[in-house]
Amino acid sequence: MKPTVKAKATLFIISKINMIAATIISSRSVSTRFKAIRTFLLSGLVAVVMIASTPSRALAGLHVVPSPQIDGQLLATAAIADNDIWAVGFSDQVSAPPVVDSTLAEHFNGKSWSIVSTPPTPSGGVNAPNAQFLGVDAAASNDVWAVGFKTGPDNPDFGEQLIEHWNGTSWSIDTTGPENEGGSLSGVTVVSSNNVWAVGGDLVEHWDGTSWSIVSSPAFNGVSGLDAVSADASNDVWAVGVASSSLGAPFDGPAVLHFDGTSWSLINPNTPLDFRSVTALSPTNVWAVGTVGVFFNHKTHRLAAIEHWDGTSWSIVSSPDPTKSPGLDSSLNGIVAISANSIWAVGSVITSNGQMATLTEHWDGTSWKIIGSPNPGNFSDGLFGATALSDGTVAAVGFQQDQGFDKIPLILQK
């Protein structure tokens, strides 16, 4: 590996300082030693300035990795290790309306992605069964949870929640919890093997190591549209959704739920963010992404936006506008943190030619920046979810589409 510009500058300055130090030691002249000492100190100051001001290499973006070409989309992803990553979503069994979807799970073993079989949902009745995975998270290689919804003969009109588990060998449909007809689970977060939370619609559910159960709380009154949940500890769990006073909430608009290990509480963020995803690092450091409405040319457009919780309040954090001109829409759909100084957000943006393109942004501890991302489809591309590890591994999933063809999964990695 070639030395960087900063490394070369550092080596050059160190060599000069060493020469001056040698003069100080070897010279018998007091005046010579004094001049050398002064030069030594000045050289040290210059070294600090030069090394600090030398530009560092730009942050590398995500790149496309090969994955199975199948009609469908990936909506969420979870990493256990750099050679153990899951991505879930749905595949289109029938391309023409009425579309029939089936759950889709893909796995990365460190070398390649492959489709892993998932159980078929019950069939029969008037309507064919539909099923999608909307969220995934893992406690270990043999302990992975995926959530979503399914339809079938039991409830063909509105469907019901779907929970599946990977035990290291195969996926199976969980039957320990309630069916919740008309319900759907959108997000899941794993604290430990016996502490898992899932949310969706107006549902909050918990796995205790034995069974799933619906959790009730006064804080949930009037709250719905729960799309995402994140936990950094058993006493720090966050979920995002929408509150409605007509349904019993104390306010209207975006809503945040927090669990402190004992009880849930409802927080009014007092911001216009339409939540899509959330990631918690600590009780005083939580990030969320989504969209805000912007009125332009007699129409409301949606723009990607980012929000932060500092332990006291939620606030919109400045981020670059990914659109190239007014009136175009953008959205951030997923967010994941490597550390407090390295956070990734992913989504999509409408380009000037009306096509959809991928969007990736990065937080370096000081500001958000757009990081260029590939668009392999010649008609439309987008990202829905992301995952990351402490070693810097990042994966983002979504779809790509060529004109005249169905959408197929898209996976970006770093």
Same domain, 68 and 193: yes
The one-letter code for the residue type at 409 is P
Within a domain: 160: yes
> Within a domain: residue 382?
yes
Residues 21 and 96 in one domain: no
Q: Are residues 180 and 322 in the same domain?
A: yes
**Domain residue limits at 18:** 5-53
Tell which wins on pLDDT, 9 or 344.
344
Going edge to edge, which strands form the sheet with 299-309? Answer: 274-282, 285-296, 299-309, 314-317
Tell me the C-alpha distance between 148 and 163, whole Å: 7
Cα–Cα distance between 333 and 256 in angstroms, integer?
Answer: 17
The 10 Å Cβ neighbour count of residue 248 is: 12
Which residue, among 240, 206, 247, 201, has the nearest Cα to 224 in the 3D structure?
201
H or E element: which one contains 306? strand 299-309
| Reported confidence tier of residue 40, pLDDT bands at 50, 70, 90 | very low
Would residue 139 count as lying in a domain? yes
pLDDT, one tens digit per residue, over 307-351 is: 999 999 999 999 999 997 778 999 999 999 999 999 999 999 999
| Confidence band of 25 (pLDDT split at 50, 70, 90) | very low
What mean pLDDT is predicted for residues 27-32?
48
Q: Is the pLDDT of residue 186 over 70?
A: yes
pLDDT band at residue 354 under the 50/70/90 scheme: confident
Cβ–Cβ < 8 Å for 145, 207: yes
Same domain membership, residue 264 and residue 143: yes
Q: Are 283 and 258 in contact (CB under 8 A)?
A: no
Say whether pLDDT at 89 is over 90.
yes
What's the whole-number mean pLDDT along residues 209-222?
Answer: 97
For the chain, the straight-line distance linking the first and the last C-alpha, in angstroms and rounded, comes to: 19
pLDDT of residue 298: 65
Judge if 190 and 294 occupy the same domain.
yes
Task: Check whether residue 240 and residue 355 sit in a common domain.
Answer: yes
pLDDT over 90 (residue 37): no
Confidence (pLDDT) at 123: 58
> Higher model confidence: residue 203 or residue 326?
203
For residue range 120-161, what is the model confidence (pLDDT) as tens digits? 876 555 666 789 999 999 999 999 999 999 886 666 667 789
31 has pLDDT over 80 = no
Sign of CA pseudo-dihedral 108, 114, 118, 124: positive
pLDDT number for residue 11: 42
**207 and 354 fall within a common domain:** yes
List the single range of 125-134, 240-249, 357-366 with lowest mean pLDDT: 125-134
Residues 188 and 286 in one domain: yes
Domain match, 76 and 46 both: no
CATH number of the domain residue 83 falls in? 2.130.10.10
What gap in Å lies between CA 228 and CA 135, rounded to an integer? 8
58 located within any domain: no
The count of structural domains within the chain is 2
79 and 41 share a domain? no
Residue 104 lies inside a defined structural domain of this protein: yes
Task: State the average pLDDT for the chain.
Answer: 86
Band of the pLDDT at 95, cuts 50, 70, 90?
low
Confidence of residue 279 (pLDDT cuts 50, 70, 90): very high
**Are residues 128 and 39 part of one domain?**
no
Asked whether residue 199 falls in the same domain as residue 323, the answer is yes
